[in-house]
Every structure is written in C-alpha cells, then in structure tokens.
Amino acid sequence: MTEARERALQRLDAYWARGRAFLGTRYAIMGGAMSWVSERNLVAAISNAGGFGVVACGSLAPDQLAAEIDGVYERCDKPFGVNIIVIHPELDALVATCVERRVGHVVLAGGLPPKRTIETLKQAGTRVVAFAPTLPLARRLAKQGIDALIIEGMEAGGHIGPVSTNVLAQEVLPHFDEVPVFVGGGIGRGDAVALYLAMGAAGCQLGTRFVCATESIAHPRFKQAMIRANARDARLSVQVDPDFPVIPVRAVANKATERFEAFQRETIARYRQGEMELGEARLAIEHFWAGALRRAAIEGDVEDGSLMAGQSVGMVTSEQSTSEIVAELLDQAVNALALSAERGAAGLADGNRPAHRPLPASA
Ligand SMILES: Cc1cc2nc3c(=O)[nH]c(=O)nc-3n(C[C@H](O)[C@H](O)[C@H](O)COP(=O)(O)O)c2cc1C
C-alpha cells in the first residue's frame, strides 16, 4: 500500500470511528433493512463482511422474527440489528422479541417512534436508532433518548420522504452532533460514503447495493431486473389526483407501474360516477400494491410485482458476494480520500490539478 493510501485509510478510520464504536463493527456501513430480502442470510453476510446487517421485519409476525433472529445468530457472531416499522399492529410483541433475544440495536422506521417503545428498549439496554426527516425532529428524537439517527433522502428505494440525501445532509450534519448520524439514500459507491463522512456523518446506510449480493435470497429475475435498470428507471410512484393519496415509493418501473396509474384513474372515475364510496375507492388504491414486493422479490414476478429500488440501482451491475461489495466500497472510499489529499497537495491552481483517475489498488 502506498503512503497516500495508508494515510487515507487512517483518515477513514478517524471519520467513522464514532459510527464503528456505536455499531460495534469494523466498518460503519449499515445494510438498510429491505422487506423480504434482509433475512437471516443477507444480514449475516453483511455483518460477517464487517458491516452491520439489519433484519427487516415489516412483514413478519413475532414468532417469525424470533426465528429470523435465531437464524442470524446461527450464521454469525457479529453485531446486527432489527428494523421494526412502528405502525406494525404487533409492535409491542416485536419489541419484546428483540429484547428477549438480546438484539443489540433496533431501528424504528415508518414514523416517529412511540415514547413507550423507546423506553422499553432503552431499559433493556438496546441501542435505539430512528429516522430523522428534519433537523428539529433530529433534535427532538435525541432529547427523547434515541441513540443514533438515520437521515435518508428521496433517492432511496422503498418508502421515501420528499427531500434529497444531498440537501438533508447539508441541513442536518453541520448543525447536529448530539448522537451519531448515518446517511442513506442513493449511495452506490465508497466515494459517496467518504463524502458524507467528511461532512460529519458517523457512517452510511445502503440498501439497493446489497439486493444482488450472492447471499441475497431475492429471485434471480428480480436480481436481473436490478442489474438491467439505470438510475432513471427507479421512479417515484405517481399520484394522479390530490384527493386520492398515494404513498411515495421508489421502484424500477414495470408493467405494474403503468397499470397503477390506469387503475387510479378508473377507480376515481367509478367514485365520481357514484359506483363507489370515497373511502372504498381510496382503500382500493391503497391496496393495489399489497403483497407486490414479495411477488417480485421472492416469486420472481417482475412485471406484476413491485421492483422497489433506489436510484443507486444504476450502480448495481452484477451479482457479487457481500464481502466483495463491502471491500469495493472500502476501496473506493480510501481511493477518494487519497485522491482528494493528492489534489490538496498539488494546490488548487488549475494547471496543477491531477487528472481524476483511480489510484491502483495495489499502489
Ligand atoms: C426492496 C427494498 C425494501 C425496503 N424495505 C424497507 C423496510 O422494510 N424498512 C425500512 O425501514 N426501509 C426499507 N427500505 C429502505 C432501505 O432500508 C434503505 O434505507 C434504502 O434502500 C437506502 O437507499 P438505497 O436503496 O439508495 O441504498 C427498503 C429498500 C428497498 C430497496
């Protein structure tokens, strides 16, 4: 390793020291929980590779979650977490399952976490992570005892907020130091990890980048659809009428995306013609995507299911092992930091700027 890369690695270690200490991992890279995909195999693979795997339990009952947690313990002895959607009808039972099984970290997603949930987890010694959509809410969550935050921009896959990762990072990172902050949404390369760390992030969360990992149980057709897709294919769900709400979800466009718009129009027309009640029409639209992620990700129906993915899908170009993905992210982060130091040393005069080129990994 060259001296430049050695120094860059030291800088990277210093940048994410807080995140690593919080997660208890070698790298402060969280594998964002993905319903159906982030089960025992992928979670264990991410944690074994030095990152932090997170079990998705959006669709699991408490006994299924217990089995999944046990499955991770059987496959790895490294730290990992569980993601719980706070509107889950069995929230308390899921939390109790995590406590009983001594899960170290619980990520509370899908809304602001109830006070009682935070308290139960903290009393059990579990580290609690939540999503902060704005700076004031980040402050409020830190006051309520949340141990770390994730800020996630609208480039991300799945259910998203309205603000980009870039803007959220600028709004939160320079002004907030109370607890470690992890940045997610649209991150496909280590260069971006290095960038957010340099801005003050404790680490990053990536989802889409891990979907096509060899260890991911996603259906081969789902993986192929991801490998084929470009950033611009990962589109936001379209709401055709302000009176008929549609939850914003980012997914690779397919036949179901087209049908969804037509379905909304037909349903709204039926309501206007008096064939349906307002509530019934709204519910029909809400239910259109029920079970759709499972249909695509597990059953392989990539035309009628939901191909949830972030814009970083354009950077998913092949099936790779999880350890390869993590090693690649690390290499890119070190490279980016070495290059920026090299640029700094060369001075900012245009004539002195080194051309943008990757340093050879063996250098
Ligand atoms: C297929 C898929 C399913 C997801 N399911 C969940 C989920 O159940 N809970 C959650 O908090 N986030 C979920 N997410 C978001 C991820 O945890 C992660 O934050 C996001 O993918 C990061 O953005 P990126 O995809 O651009 O890396 C999902 C994302 C994808 C792509």
- Mean pLDDT value across residues 335-355: 73
pLDDT above 60 for 361: no
User: Do residues 34 and 313 make contact, with C-beta atoms less than 8 angstroms apart?
Assistant: no
- Mean pLDDT value across residues 49-55: 98
Cβ neighbours of residue 280 closer than 8 Å, sequence gap 6 or more:
271
What is the whole-number distance in angstroms between the Cα of residue 37 and the centre of ligand 1?
10
Domains along the chain with CATH numbers: 3-217+317-339 (3.20.20.70), 230-308 (no CATH)
pLDDT above 60 for 71: yes
Query: Ligand 1 in contact with 192 (CB < 6 A)?
Result: no
Q: Mind giving me the DSSP string for 89-152?
A: TTHHHHHHHHHHTT-SEEEEESSPPPHHHHHHHHHTT-EEEEE-SSHHHHHHHHHTT--EEEEE
pLDDT above 90 for 362: no
**Ligand 1 atom, smallest distance to 250 CA:** 31
Residue owning the nearest CA to atom 8 of ligand 1: 35
What is the percent of the chain with per-residue pLDDT over 90, rounded to a whole number?
92
pLDDT above 80 for 347: no
Q: How confident is the model at residue 251 (pLDDT cuts 50, 70, 90)?
A: very high
Q: Mind giving me the DSSP string for 318-358?
A: S-B-HHHHHHHHHHHHHHHHHHHHHHHHH-SSGGGPPP--P
What is the percent of the chain with per-residue pLDDT over 70, rounded to a whole number?
95
For the chain, give the mean pLDDT. 95
Q: What is the pLDDT of residue 92?
A: 97
* pLDDT digit string, tens, across residues 256-296: 999 999 999 999 999 999 999 999 999 999 999 999 999 99
Q: What is the pLDDT of residue 341?
A: 87
SS3 assignment, position 248: coil
What is the whole-number distance in angstroms between the Cα of residue 308 and the centre of ligand 1?
8
Query: Ligand 1 in contact with 153 (CB < 6 A)?
Result: no
pLDDT above 60 for 87: yes
Largest CA distance in the chain: 74
Residue owning the nearest CA to atom 1 of ligand 1: 308
Query: Ligand 1 in contact with 156 (CB < 6 A)?
Result: yes
Q: How confident is the model at residue 100 (pLDDT cuts 50, 70, 90)?
A: very high
- Mean pLDDT value across residues 328-343: 94
SS3 assignment, position 62: helix
- Mean pLDDT value across residues 207-214: 98
Q: What is the pLDDT of residue 344?
A: 79
pLDDT above 80 for 60: yes
Query: Ligand 1 in contact with 39 (CB < 6 A)?
Result: no
- CA pair distance 185, 331, nearest whole angstrom: 20
Q: What is the pLDDT of residue 238?
A: 94
- CA pair distance 39, 44, nearest whole angstrom: 8
- CA pair distance 56, 53, nearest whole angstrom: 10
Query: Ligand 1 in contact with 154 (CB < 6 A)?
Result: no
pLDDT above 80 for 145: yes
Query: Ligand 1 in contact with 187 (CB < 6 A)?
Result: yes
Query: Ligand 1 in contact with 308 (CB < 6 A)?
Result: yes
Q: Which of 35, 151, 209, 315 to mutate to test the pocket of ligand 1 (most atoms within 8 A of CB)?
A: 35
Q: What is the pLDDT of residue 349?
A: 47
Place of tokens 């499955």: 71
Q: What is the pLDDT of residue 1?
A: 65
- Mean pLDDT value across residues 239-260: 96
127 DSSP β-pair partners: 105
Q: Report the predicted TM-score, pTM, of the whole model to 2 decimal places.
A: 0.94
pLDDT above 70 for 348: no
Q: What is the pLDDT of residue 363?
A: 42
Query: Ligand 1 in contact with 312 (CB < 6 A)?
Result: yes
* pLDDT digit string, tens, across residues 225-236: 999 999 999 999
Q: What is the pLDDT of residue 359?
A: 56
Residue owning the nearest CA to atom 4 of ligand 1: 34
**Ligand 1 atom, smallest distance to 33 CA:** 17
What is the whole-number distance in angstroms between the Cα of residue 149 and the centre of ligand 1?
15
